[in-house]
Amino acid sequence: MEGTRLRILEHLQQENQTVGGLATIMGLAPATVRRHLDILQRDHLVNFIEVRKKTGRPEYSFRLTEEGQESLPKSYDLMLKLMVDEMGDLSQEDMNGMDGQQVLRMVFQRMSAKVAERFSGDMALLNIDERVAGLLGALSNNHFEPVAQNVDGMFQIKLQNCPFRSVAMTNNAVCDFDANMISTGMGVSMTQISCISEGQPCCVYQSVEPMTVDLGV
Amino acid sequence: MEGTRLRILEHLQQENQTVGGLATIMGLAPATVRRHLDILQRDHLVNFIEVRKKTGRPEYSFRLTEEGQESLPKSYDLMLKLMVDEMGDLSQEDMNGMDGQQVLRMVFQRMSAKVAERFSGDMALLNIDERVAGLLGALSNNHFEPVAQNVDGMFQIKLQNCPFRSVAMTNNAVCDFDANMISTGMGVSMTQISCISEGQPCCVYQSVEPMTVDLGV
């Protein structure tokens, strides 16, 4: 994927955009943006809907297709490997009285606990700012494209990419993976207030209690 | 991946090669092959070992690195999706008395049975040559790069690529997927006589009973 076109895809992943909107954000001529969009459209990575305005010509709002979403970084291989390993380690007792959905949830929670353990080490020695910095690094390595923000006295972690997107769209048990990774990594309860698998542009996790994190660490 | 370099990776996947060997197979000048190999080596997709000969200069045998293997087509997304779906459908009774490894094997067998069902339809109406043709198409679609061959009165299906390679290398329960897909798709018992996860270049399945298939269908 050529540099500019990859950046266009990343912008569209966050929000649908018109040619003019993309040109402004990216500091490019509208004709240049249009040429790249034509190529992306030919390759089935973007499409558009017409937006009628009260006056003047209609505008076109460009957005990613499912194929476009899938062309952004994914971690299906990692997830499958972790899942097969974790499943294989289960004993008969671990699954006692559970149905498949319950076993799935347990497996995703164990997977994320292991990943969280790997990056947080001895968490008791770290303060919250340091924990968040470690968590953001681990989420980045796994292609979640995380952004941390303090909003109205609450702390939020926004995930701009779902590395398991096509699986999450059909079974959100996989969402337990990042939910648990975030709560475990921070040692603080976080609740999901927005989810890609429900059609929203980002997954957002927010602290249950009011809190502010120093983002300069 | 540029055309010639992709073809070099595919040849190396089947067998380690010298510059001269690749040049002969591909009908290219050795200097051209060497230039492409330099680029692939720079990108960590191939490396080489020195092969000493009785006389003359030593030769270099090129081979894929694990990164090179992973750069060839994979289906981790499909496998993960099928696995999550199949797991979620299990009832408590389905898993009764099983440990994790047993549940894994059951899940992979059900997954492949479903895939086999999808391409074989009402198999009773098809003769063996038609079944094999359908099976080869389905294996191709899933990036197994299958080759069918009659060897010494036995029928073989050779898979030149493992679309779940990095997972199979650590847990060969996933091999049940293709093993079962092949036996179910043919309606004939086939046994695995070679496996990529055990370090061999291809997975080979062979008919248990002597048989020959018309490969012209």
Structure confidence by residue, pLDDT tens digits, B176-197: 888 988 988 888 899 999 998 8
Structure confidence by residue, pLDDT tens digits, A142-172: 889 999 999 999 999 999 999 988 888 888 8
Structure confidence by residue, pLDDT tens digits, A87-121: 999 999 999 999 999 999 999 989 988 888 777 76
- Pairing, β B59-64 against β B154-159: unpaired
- The residue in chain A having the minimum alpha-carbon distance to the alpha carbon of residue B167 is A81
* Rounded alpha-carbon distances, angstroms, from residue A59 to A2, A55, A56: 26, 11, 9
What whole-number distance in Å separates Cα of residue A46 and Cα of residue A67?
8
Give the domains, in start order, of chain B with CATH numbers. Answer: 3-71 (1.10.10.10), 76-207 (3.30.1380)
What whole-number distance in Å separates Cα of residue B10 and Cα of residue B72?
8
Percent with pLDDT over 90 in chain A: 52
Is A166's CB within 8 Å of B100's CB? no
Structure confidence by residue, pLDDT tens digits, A176-206: 888 988 988 888 899 999 998 888 888 999 9
Q: Which residues of chain B have pLDDT under 70?
A: 1-2, 121-122, 217
Given this model, what pLDDT does residue A115 score? 84
Mutation target among A67, A69, A95 for the B interface, most CBs of B within 10 A: A95
The residues on A that touch B, with CB distances below 8 Å, are 70, 74, 76-77, 79-81, 83-92, 94-95, 97-101, 103-104, 107, 164, 166-167, 170-171, 173-174
Given this model, what pLDDT does residue A91 score? 95
What whole-number distance in Å separates Cα of residue A28 and Cα of residue A16?
17
Structure confidence by residue, pLDDT tens digits, A8-60: 999 998 889 999 999 999 999 999 999 999 999 999 999 999 888 788 888 89
3-state secondary structure B47-63: EEEEECCCCCCCEEEEE
Given this model, what pLDDT does residue B116 score? 81
Reported ipTM: the value is 0.74
